[in-house]
Chains A and B, each alone.
Chain A
Amino acid sequence: MDTKEYISSGILESYILGTASEQERREVECISSIYPEIRKELDALSVSLEQYAQASAVEPPARVRDKIFAQIDSLEKSETKREAKVFTMERTQAPNRQFNYWLAAASVTLLIVSSVLFYQLSDKNSQLISTNQQVEQLQKEKSQSEAALEVMNRQMAMLNNPDNKKVMMKGTEAHPGMLASVLWNTQNHEVYLSVSNLPQPPADKQYQLWAIVDGKPVDMGVFDISADSSLYKKMGATQTAQAFAVTLEKKGGSPVPTLTAMYVMGQI
C-alpha cells in the first residue's frame, strides 16, 4: 500500500476533524493500527489541532471543579454501598403439624410421579441408544459399500485400459481346473494378478508368480489366497515377457521356480 498517497488523500484530516463517515472512521482506525507511519501522521495532525484548541482555552470557574469531584465522590459512595449490602436471614415461624402432614403427602406423591417419569425416561433413553446403534451400523455398512464400489471402479478402469494386456493362466496337467490371470501394462510394465481358482496352500508355503523372459523365469512376487484374491493386485514389473506362471514355493518365495509345483501358466 502506498502510505504517502493515503496520507495526502485528505481522509486523515477528515477523521481528525470528525467529519469522516462511520465507514471511513473504521478504515482509518484499522489502517493506522497496521501502518506506523500513518499513525504517526494521524498523531501529528491531532497534536496541531490540540494546539489550535489550546489557543482558545479558557480557565473554567473553580466551582466547576468542586462540583465534578463532589459528584464523582457521591457516585463512588453509592457504588460501595451497593457492594456492601448484606442480606440478613430471618428466622421464620415454625410450621404447624397439619402443614407437615400435607407436606409429607405431597412429597410421597412427588416421589411416585418422579419414579414413573424416571422409568419412562430411561425406557426412552434405551430406545434412543438402540436407534443410535442401528444408525451407526447402517452408516458403517454404507461406507463399506462405498469402499467396495470404489475398488470395483478401479478394477474396471484397469480392465478397460488399452495398455493392459490380459494373460489367462490355466491349470497345468497336474492341476486341471485351476485358473488365474495377469494384466500386464505394456507402457509402464507393471504386472497385476487376479486369482480365480487356486487351493489354499499349507501354512508353510506361498504361491509365487513368475514372468518368463527369453526362456528365463523372473520373480514377480509371492502372494496369499484371501477373499479378495480375484481382484487384480499389483505384483512386480517386467519390460518383456513371453509367458506368466504360478508355482507353490516355501514361505517367502524361492530364487528359482520349482517346475514340478507349477499350478497355472499362460502364454502371451
Chain B
Amino acid sequence: MNRKQLLTRQESRLNLPAAISTPPPPRQEGGRFFNVASLCKIVWKASVLFLTVILSAVTGHAMSGREVYEKVHEVRSKMLDRKTEVTMVLFDKGGGKRSRTLSEYCKRSVPEGYKVLVLFRSPPDLKDVGFLIHARTFAERDLWVYFPEYKRVRRIPTTSQDDSFFGSDFSYDDFGGPPNLDDYRFSIIKEEVLDGRPCYKVEVTPKVRRKYTRYIAWVAKELWVQLKIDYYQDKELYRTGAFKDIKVVDTIPTPFSLNVENRKTGHRTELTIESIRYHTNFTDELFTQRSLERSGR
C-alpha cells in the first residue's frame, strides 16, 4: 500500500464527517435505490465510531504501535522539503576522530518519492564529493556518487538498505524519507520517560528478514519523533541511535543532534545540524547528475 492509500485509509478511519457523509453504493438487487437494512448498518457504525471518539476523548485513547508510527511517518514526511547544513564527526574505537561538513538538499517528489543531494564541503580531501538520490519509493531508488578527482559520476548499485553509508554509522535508509509502514509490524511494549519526555517504547519488526531483525524505538508523545532506537540482530544489540536537542522549526519537531553507535565495532558517528530550513521548494534542476558534478551549482 502506498502512502496515498495509507493516508486515504487514515482519513476514512479518523475523519468522522467524511465517513458519515460518504453515500453508500447503490444496491443492485431489486432495482431499489434505497435500502433500509443498509441504512441501519451505517447508522450503527456511525454510532459506534461516535461513541469511540467520545470515549477516547474522555478516557485517553490507547494507541497501537502502528498508529504511533503513522504519526511519526507524518512528521517525517513533512521534513522532506528542506536544506540542512550538517557537521558529521566519525569516531573510531581507538579514539580517532574525523570531521566533515556537508550540505543536504531534499525535495519531495510525487507520489511518495523524494530527491536528495548531499554535498561535502570539508575536509579538503572530500570537498565537492556528492551523492544524489532519486527515490521513487522508500525501497526503490537510484543512487549516484561524484568524485571530483576523477570527474566521474558513478552509479551505486542497489544496495541493502541497511548497508553502511560510506564508513559512517548511518545506513542508506537514514538519508531520505520515511519507510513504508506496511513493511513492518509494530507493537507498543510500554510507555516510558526518556530525556524527560514521555515516550512510547515500540518494537518494530521488519516483515521480511533484514540485517536488523528488530528495532526498539522510543517515540516522544506529542512530538512524534524518535528519541532513541536500538537495532538488534536477533538478540544481539548491533547499533544504537540517539536523537537529541529537539527543536520545533516551522512547526516541525527536529532533532538537531544524532548519535549513532555501532556496538559491534565500537565505531560512532555524531551528526549535528548546524542549520535547517523547511518548505524550500527546490527546483528539479538541483537534483540532476549535472548539478551533482557542479556541486549544486
Q: Do A and B bind each other?
A: no
A residues near B, CB below 8 A? none
